[in-house]
Amino acid sequence: MVDKSLIGSKGGSVEMAVERGKIREFARATKSSHPAYMEDRQPVSPPTFLTTSSFWTTADAAASSPILKLGLDLRRILHGEQEFVFHGEPPRAGTELIGETLVGDIYEKEGKRGGTMLFVKMVTEFKDAKTGELVAESRSTLIQTAKTPTEG
């Protein structure tokens, strides 16, 4: 059983520079040729671009990850869902963001194939490094199954 007092706990912050070239690379990798990503001098980032924040994670931020505090069995983790919420337009090239991840919720459900599944809702808040204004949120759900794939 995971300690529900960890709801609201935060990890280390991640500094992320939104770069023109990286927006273009991401757009190409996701098969988009939209001019907003490819031709603009200060392009807007694609909606799912913030997932690349994981490449900016430092060893210190990784070591203080709320996921580690939860003590989850990584062999039994499924990625349940992912959502991006913007509080205005997505960030443009030249924006510096600070991302901070927290545990949003923890709950359990009985699985259809037997055993209890643990659901952990994670929220990463992205704030403008200059103004401190909330720019976007990445919300994801991790599911820990009752058994590892080899046991099930």
Residue 152 has a pLDDT of 55
CB-side neighbour CA atoms (13 Å) of 18: 28
Here the tokens at position 130 are: 């200059």
pLDDT, tens digit, 9 for 90 and up, residues 18-70: 999 999 999 999 999 899 998 889 999 999 999 998 888 878 877 788 888 88
Residue 67 has a pLDDT of 80
The DSSP H or E segment spanning 40 is none
The DSSP H or E segment spanning 25 is helix 20-29
Using CA of residue 24, residue 27, residue 31, residue 35, what is the dihedral sign?
A: negative
| pLDDT range class, residue 118, cuts 50, 70, 90 | very high
Give the percent of the chain with pLDDT over 70: 96
Enumerate the domain spans of the chain: 4-144
Q: Please say whether the beta carbons of 91 and 45 come within 8 A.
A: yes
Residue 122 has a pLDDT of 94
Give CATH for domain 4-144: 3.10.129.10
Radius of gyration of the chain (CA): 17
pLDDT averaged over the chain?
Answer: 90
First and final C-alpha spacing in the chain: 19
Q: Is 70 exceeded by the pLDDT of residue 117? A: yes
Residue 151 has a pLDDT of 64
The DSSP H or E segment spanning 114 is none
CA distance 65 to 49: 21
Residues 6 or more apart from 135 whose CB is under 8 A from it?
86, 87, 88, 91, 95, 97, 126, 127, 128
Q: What does the pLDDT average to over 138-144?
A: 95
